Structure 1
Amino acid sequence: MIKLYKYLSLTILAAFLVTGCNEDPNPGLDDLISPSTTPPSISTIEPSSGGLAGITVLTINGSNFSSDQSKNAVFFNGVKGEVLSATSTQLKVRPPNVISDSVQVKASVFKVEDFSNIVFYKLAPAAVEIFEFDPANSGTPYGITVDANENVYTSVAKQTGAGIYKVDPQGTLSLWAPKGAESFFSSLTMGPSDVIYATRRVRAIFQVSEGIASSTYVTYTASIGGAASDSDFDQNLNLWVGANGNILSITPAKVIQAFPFDGNINAIKIFNGAIYAIAASNNQQILWKVPIISADNIGTPEVYFNFTSEVDSVIKLNDISIAADGDIYIGTDAKEDPIYVIHPDKSFEQLYPGIIKSTVNSLCWGTGNYLYMTRNLSNDFTQTIIRIDMEKPGAPYFGR
């Protein structure tokens, strides 16, 4: 009887051990993969011509993606992008800051063993230096403007050979006009017949033509207005000037009209029949809108956006540029992400976070999708000109 009990006990123990081995509480990696599931496939990536690294939201078309956004991953030369939305046939992805003409793009889906096919795609830098300015040799650039052929002009300060320099689209630097009495111009505005109009914070506007040193275009007294900081043309080729405590209009016949203004203006732009001016007003940094009625009449200035109260109480506004869709770009003295976008609904955001890492001196939109920026000197950067791909055109410009 004792032997029988002993035999039964061993039989029960063996059965228990066999049953326990059939239930693995810690499944291996193979159990997380569904071998029968078809891997994802990429057919096309839009825009087909390429995108901006870290910026452009790409549309990846294909099949066998997960409609659950979190279960998809897309890699660019092995670096994961940010999946923003997903269906079974399309992914919206922001790529990482990987720059190459032939980035390897592949996708994966959670619990699917194989990656997709590889598609090669071009990711370009969002911001590039158009010429490597060296203070000891090529000088230091300040005010900038752009002509109808996308040549960039800048007022360059240096010990010998200062003047207005041209950087062509291929990146070649050449002297366009020798300097006059100025050390440099803080603002340049391209005018009709490729004549440049310049300011340097005195009560005068200067005129520069190719091969000729700058000369005085108009001057005015303190009774008319304060020192001029910036200018822009309207559709009638009246030159509007932002000054300390005034807005000035100058007709093609050089008739000057002054309008009192509550603030010291740093920069102005003309858009849709109005002057947009950034100014220091009552210790606040404000973007103003001033309707233009005629060369000798303007509407009541209105606060379009109070940067000090809405964004930051310390940052200073240095320059302004406007897109065709009405977005307003303000260059500031912020040391990182210095350009802010003010949308028509008055919402705002920083332009291309993490891409631009120095304060703004000047801004100027070219003939297409490029916004040019004079980057200020800092501990880590020389003062130079940066070309920013905005992926959209600027507002109409009447001077060129």
Structure 2
Amino acid sequence: MNKKVLLSVFGAVFALVCCEYDLGYKEIWPPQEDFAPDPVITKIVPDSASGGVVTLKIIGRNFDPNPSLNYVCFDNVVCEVLESSDTSITVNRPIGYYSDSTEVKVVVSKAKTIPEFGPYKMEPGVVNIGGGLGEVYSFAVSKGEDIYYHKVSDKKVYRYRTGEGEVEFGSMDKKSSCMRFHPSGKLLIQRSNYKYVYYIDTTGGEAQKFFRLPDRASYFDIGENGIYYFGGTKGLLVVSEDGSIKLETGYYVDDEVTAVRVFDDYVYVATNNDTVVVFRNEIIGEDSVSAPEPYLYRANMGKLSDVVVNDMTFSEDGVLFLVVDGDFPILLVKEEGVEPLYEGILEGDAIRIFWGNGMYLYYARSAGEDSGIYRVIAGREGAPYYGRD
């Protein structure tokens, strides 16, 4: 085994020892003549891991420019090193670990000292909102980061606000399947497999009929042009709230649409199709869309090819997030393939997803006593919801 490999193995083993146990000293013994300069941590950017932040930068000196020769621990948890230079190390924080007083350590291969920095505050990576809100039909997150949700247990609509908790906001005595916000601030609610969109005004109350659709639908989104795109058992519908546009496209009538999301001048449509999981249609003017084009084939999903998509959304940088049945609740669709988000940390049986106004992602679980709405740090912002944003 050559010297470089020996040093790498030594660094990895020492990093594990450093992170798992309190050694009681900060120098390697016995001393050697070819040690690297002592590494120093001067600060971490940002100054706390909060607000949905995932990627952190450790600033200092005498780090190794080779990322694989730096080992970073948050207390006893080793994290992923993304890149490094002599003066900085960029890492992804541990998602499943948090503390108000974390000690951050850096082990640099061939260096004889282990610098520490702290206390450093890290928020939880996953939060069960309100300690468990119960099973919901649908939910949405407002511009002020309030969560509105339609409960299965009593068919009432509630608002959850940080510092205030849960308050009753309104009611809808039928099952809902999708929520969005209207530019006026109204909460829009789609009754499951029905011909009407409902709304609750900004002051709350009982849900009222808003406008009629040309056929039944369960899911919808609003385009930048103010036009609505609906889907369900009757294919893709294009509708304006004033009734001047009521287009039945004829697309997806042989498949059930399970989610609709508008992003970057396209309508993305998830279906139960045996071959294609997600299609997209280009938005052409106000009253038309192009023919469907496949966006995600099941054959390209590997072991995840048999999932049922219950909802979807996009990050601002164009990554598609799918909410699915099963053990891996959120899937990321990237150019290089499909992968679970935070595998082994997020719990499954997800039914709905919604992005907050910053770097928090929310998803609803239908999982017995664990049902509720969960907030997840995403490390990136979501694409606009045009009714809300």
Please give the range of the TM-score, normalised by the shorter of the 2 chains.
Answer: 0.7 to 0.9
Moved more, 268-277 or 243-252: 243-252
Measure the CA separation in 2 of the matches of 1:83 and 1:217.
51
Residues 25-67 of structure 1: CA deviation (Å, up to 9, x unaligned): xxxx8446459865321112223342699x8343222223344
Structure 1 residues 301 and 82, CA, compared in 2 at 3 Å: closer, same or farther? closer
Residues 10-36 of structure 1: CA deviation (Å, up to 9, x unaligned): xxxxxxxxxxxxxxxxxxx84464598
The question of 1:215 aligning with 2:208 is answered yes
Contact 1:189–1:196 under 8 Å retained in 2:
yes
Alignment match of 2:180 (pick from 189, 198, 216): 189
TM-score normalised by the chain length of structure 2: 0.81
Residue aligned with 1:325, SS:
coil
Residue aligned with 1:118, SS:
strand
Residue aligned with 1:290, SS:
strand
- Counterpart residue number, 2:74: 76
- Counterpart residue number, 1:330: 322
Larger-Rg structure? 1
Alignment match of 1:59 (pick from 51, 57, 60): 57
Contact 2:362–2:375 under 8 Å retained in 1:
yes
The Cα of 1:315 is off from its aligned counterpart by 1.0
The question of 1:232 aligning with 2:221 is answered yes
The question of 1:398 aligning with 2:389 is answered no
The one-letter amino acid paired with 2:217 is A
Contact 1:246–1:261 under 8 Å retained in 2:
yes
Measure the CA separation in 2 of the matches of 1:130 and 1:389.
13
Alignment match of 1:150 (pick from 125, 139, 145): 145
The one-letter amino acid paired with 2:387 is G
The Cα of 1:107 is off from its aligned counterpart by 2.2
RMSD of aligned Cα (Å) = 2.7
- Counterpart residue number, 2:197: 206
Equivalenced residue count is: 354
TM-score normalised by the chain length of structure 1: 0.79
Contact 1:308–1:315 under 8 Å retained in 2:
no
Please list every run of 5 or more consecutive structure 2 residues that lacks an aligned counterpart in the other structure: 1-27
Moved more, 33-42 or 289-298: 33-42
The question of 1:130 aligning with 2:120 is answered no
Alignment match of 1:370 (pick from 357, 360, 385): 360
Measure the CA separation in 2 of the matches of 1:83 and 1:250.
48
Contact 2:136–2:366 under 8 Å retained in 1:
no
The Cα of 1:84 is off from its aligned counterpart by 4.2
- Counterpart residue number, 2:23: none
Contact 1:285–1:316 under 8 Å retained in 2:
no
Measure the CA separation in 2 of the matches of 1:174 and 1:46.
37
Measure the CA separation in 2 of the matches of 1:235 and 1:269.
12
Measure the CA separation in 1 of the matches of 2:228 and 2:59.
49
- Counterpart residue number, 2:268: 276
The Cα of 1:307 is off from its aligned counterpart by 3.4
The Cα of 1:207 is off from its aligned counterpart by 1.4
- Counterpart residue number, 1:41: 40
Residue aligned with 2:184, SS:
helix
Measure the CA separation in 1 of the matches of 2:179 and 2:236.
17
The question of 1:244 aligning with 2:229 is answered no
Measure the CA separation in 2 of the matches of 1:158 and 1:287.
32
The one-letter amino acid paired with 1:149 is G
The Cα of 1:376 is off from its aligned counterpart by 1.9
The one-letter amino acid paired with 1:105 is V
The question of 1:319 aligning with 2:307 is answered no
- Counterpart residue number, 1:348: 338
Alignment match of 1:176 (pick from 166, 169, 186): 169
The one-letter amino acid paired with 1:288 is F
- Counterpart residue number, 1:20: none
Please list every run of 5 or more consecutive structure 1 residues that lacks an aligned counterpart in the other structure: 1-28
